[in-house]
Structure 1
């Protein structure tokens, strides 16, 4: 099931009864510090004052329902009417409908049915985080909130020309928040790469990188599986575990998707060709246990 279908099905089911805020430790205060005054100002500028919960509280009778507009937008999108979809989603998003904001952010970031506009995507992601970044990680919508946080982090890694300056420190903080509070595997993978590669604010630390990569890999994140498998096989940054490394690369190869994952296929082919017969045999044992533990 694709993401837009999942969104529509979740909305048709009614979603959670309402927005839930939690105060685990200092997560509420820390996120507010991450967002800063600029985040709230952006939220207001997008017309999201009093943003409604993910279940789409209805507006007065003389105003179209944002939830209905969202449903119309998802229906139009699935029917291939991208212009109609964007128009309906824009209305719902302007009323603070967070799932509409998330879908529009994806559309603008990919140029899917609308002209590509990374700043608009950034603004919609920011609005979601402003309104829902403190929501419970156990709610049905948590995956979309954490996705928005990771997307913001990715924008801060490289910046947006003439719009958003690169900010590696802030990017790392956002990934850290999504990785720990929401347990987001994309955030964990990004943290792993930051520690593995090093940057201007974080020195290289392959051992810490391996820990973050394993958290993501054990959740089925194929890129993390590939990078971790390569690290374990090479033994250059951590103790070599050839069979286990081949296991992770096998999992990654099984999930590889087309040309964009050709690098994973190449890593696997090279590793398999160099592996000993004992490593290949032990890999099968590890693989069977992994699939049993994560079924």
Structure 2
């Protein structure tokens, strides 16, 4: 399938999904699937399994079969999707090998995940910033905005690769152009305050501050609580937090022994959240 046809089909798919018309989505991709097009198999399955409530068991089974067929034909994103979303729990090493295969075949999503693994060391292998930068660069080159942000930030800091302010800003501005809100904030810090030795530039600072303020008006932040814990804590050890109703995200905020938890106040109070966090993560204490 040629890229311009794929883009046209994706645009029409979005319109059909916005209209809640799954039959129209199937109508778009089915002729290509009947021709044995692996990309069409993946796209139809992905859009049902990720973009709809999956309420029809028969359709879900058909889409899962399509996804498995695409993965068996070495479609990189089908392999990535099966590894990260739809397969039963497998051994960590097997998961990592599957993710590596998807990344080597060209999945930007898998390449991004591999970059995170090497950047944090939160996997069975070593922490390796040079490898993290290499995987981020592969995904960034495919237009993956989060990877463009991560690569740009690493280049500003000189992590994984020699410090390169010009290239770092180039990747950050590309990420910002794709709507990556973390890039808005970092670019404001760079151009307003000279962060990471970036020359102050009032015009660019005003541009990215405008983008940041627009984003914050449209996406007001959820409240969060900060917690401290004895010893180091890895991201995998916090996965249990997803089981707490009302928790919508978490992040490390100070080294390896503090983390913050974002929550939906309509679903859980701060006091109840503290109780749940302390029950889920041993030695966690509120740090706010």
When the two structures are superposed, what TM-score results if normalisation uses the length of structure 1? 0.51
| 1:82 and 2:21 aligned | yes
**Preserved CA contact (<8 Å) 1:102 1:124:** no
| Offset at residue 253 of structure 1 (A) | 0.9
CA RMSD of aligned residues (A): 4.3
Alpha-carbon distance in 1 for matches of 2:200, 2:189: 17
**Preserved CA contact (<8 Å) 1:152 1:171:** no
Residues 216-243 of structure 1: per-residue CA shift (max 9 Å, x gap): 2233322111001111223456543333
Alpha-carbon distance in 2 for matches of 1:90, 1:242: 44
Structure with the larger strand share = 2
Distance change >3 Å, CA 168–CA 267, structure 1 → 2: farther
Query: For this pair of structures, how many residues does the alignment match?
Result: 194
| 1:176 and 2:118 aligned | no
Structure 2 stretches lacking a partner, 5+ long: 202-288
Alpha-carbon distance in 1 for matches of 2:200, 2:66: 49
| Offset at residue 86 of structure 1 (A) | 6.5
Alpha-carbon distance in 1 for matches of 2:41, 2:126: 38
Residue in structure 2 matching 1:247, options 170, 173, 182: 170
SS at match of 1:165: coil
- Aligned counterpart, 1:5: 8
Residues 114-170 of structure 1: per-residue CA shift (max 9 Å, x gap): 4398x756554223212x12xxxxxxxxxxx22212212322xxxx6xx71154433
**Preserved CA contact (<8 Å) 1:217 1:224:** yes
**Preserved CA contact (<8 Å) 2:111 2:138:** yes
**Preserved CA contact (<8 Å) 1:195 1:203:** yes
**Preserved CA contact (<8 Å) 2:155 2:168:** yes
Structure 1 stretches lacking a partner, 5+ long: 10-73, 134-144, 283-295
Mapping for residues 225-244 of structure 1, pairs under 5 Å: 225-235=148-158, 239-244=162-167
When the two structures are superposed, what TM-score results if normalisation uses the length of structure 2? 0.52
- Aligned counterpart, 1:202: 125
RCO greater where, 1 or 2, for CA within 8 Å and sep 6 or more?
1
**Preserved CA contact (<8 Å) 1:89 1:100:** no
